[in-house]
Amino acid sequence: MTTPYTQLEKKFKRLNILGDCAGMLHWDMATMMPRGGAEARAEQLALLATMSHAMMVEDEMADLLNQAEDDGDLNEWQQANLQEMHRAHTHATALDEELVEAFSRAKSTCEQVWREARPNGDFKSVVPALKEVLNLTRQKAQAKSQKLNCSLYDALLDAYEPDGKAVEIDEIFAKLEAFLPGFLPEVLEKQKQMSFDKPQGPFDLDKQKELGLSFMTALGFDFDHGRLDVSLHPFCGGIPDDVRLTTRYDEDDFTSALMGVLHETGHALYERGLPVEWRDQPVGAARGMSIHESQSLLVEMQVCRSDAFLTYAVPKMTQAFKGQGSAWSLDNFINLYRQVKPGFIRVDADEVTYPAHVILRYKLERALIEGEMEVEDIPASWNEMMQKLLGITPPSDREGCLQDVHWYDGAWGYFPTYTLGAMSAAQIYGAAERALPTLEGDIEKGDFSGLMNWLKVNVHSLGSKLSTQELMKKATGKALDPDVFITHLKKRYS
Residue 454 phi, psi dihedral angles, 5° rounding: -65, -45
Rounded to whole angstroms, the Cα distance separating 425 from 419 reads: 10
CB contact set of 278 (below 8 Å; sequence gap of 6+): 77, 81, 284, 463
User: Which residues, 6+ apart, have CB-to-CB distance to 131 below 8 Å?
Assistant: 374, 375
189 classed as catalytic = no
Q: Find all residues with CB under 8 Å of 168, minimum gap 6, and list them.
A: none
| Dihedral pair phi/psi, residue 458, rounded to 5° | -95, -15
Distance CA 405, CA 56 (A): 28
Give me the catalytic one of 264, 271, 293, 365: 264
Integer Cα distance of 493 and 184 in angstroms: 10
Q: CA-CA distances (angstroms) from residue 134 to 60, 102, 127, 130, 347?
A: 32, 12, 10, 6, 23
Residue 119 CA to residue 117 CA, distance in Å, equals: 6
- Which residues are designated catalytic? 264
